[in-house]
């Protein structure tokens, strides 16, 4: 299993993993086998699946018409699609679903209290 598949599989068990650089003590998102700064190997680390929606906007790109936003999860900024319509900026959000599309991790945000 590659990195994205491992993250995808673990999410099915309710565990949200991200890559972490033990050298820089930094979260690496999007997940990568190597740190972007020091190129050392990263390790997988569990992250609390609760964040805050920092920004949101609407995408008019054909076949991708949707609300998307940037969520802050323990200091990691993650871009995702907003699947519930009543989410506003500064709301608590959760990663509702993880998909792999064209070998990229695609994230869906939902309301935290559900």
Q: In this chain, which of 7, 17, 21, 105 binds Zn ion, going by CB under 5 A?
A: 21
Half-sphere exposure of 85 (CA within 13 A, CB side): 0
Residue 28 found at the interface with Zn ion (CB under 5 A): no
- 56, β-bridge pairs: 69
Part in contact with Zn ion (CB under 5 A); list of ranges 11-19, 35-43, 73-81, 101-109: 35-43
Q: How many helices (H) and strands (E) does the chain have?
A: 1, 8
What's the closest the beta carbon of residue 25 comes to Zn ion, in angstroms?
8
CA–CA gap between residue 92 and residue 106 (Å, rounded): 19
Part in contact with Zn ion (CB under 5 A); list of ranges 7-15, 36-44, 64-72, 102-110: 36-44
What's the closest the beta carbon of residue 64 comes to Zn ion, in angstroms?
32
Q: Is the peptide bond before 113 cis (omega within 30 degrees of 0)?
A: no
Contact in structure between 39 and 46 (CB atoms under 8 Å): no
What's the closest the beta carbon of residue 20 comes to Zn ion, in angstroms?
9
Residue 44 found at the interface with Zn ion (CB under 5 A): no
Binding residues (CB under 5 A) for Zn ion: these are 21, 23-24, 35, 37-38
């Amino acid at each position: 299993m590659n990195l994205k598949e491992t993250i995808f599989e673990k999410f099915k068990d309710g565990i949200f993993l991200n890559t972490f650089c033990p050298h820089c003590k930094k979260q690496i998102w999007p997940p990568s086998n190597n740190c972007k700064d020091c190129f050392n190997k990263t390790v997988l680390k569990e992250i609390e699946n609760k964040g805050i929606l920092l920004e949101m906007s609407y995408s008019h790109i054909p076949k991708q018409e949707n609300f998307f936003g940037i969520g802050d999860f323990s200091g990691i900024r993650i871009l995702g699609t907003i699947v519930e319509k009543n989410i506003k900026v500064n709301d608590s959000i959760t990663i509702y679903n993880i998909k792999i599309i064209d070998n990229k991790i695609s994230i869906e945000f939902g309301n935290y209290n559900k």
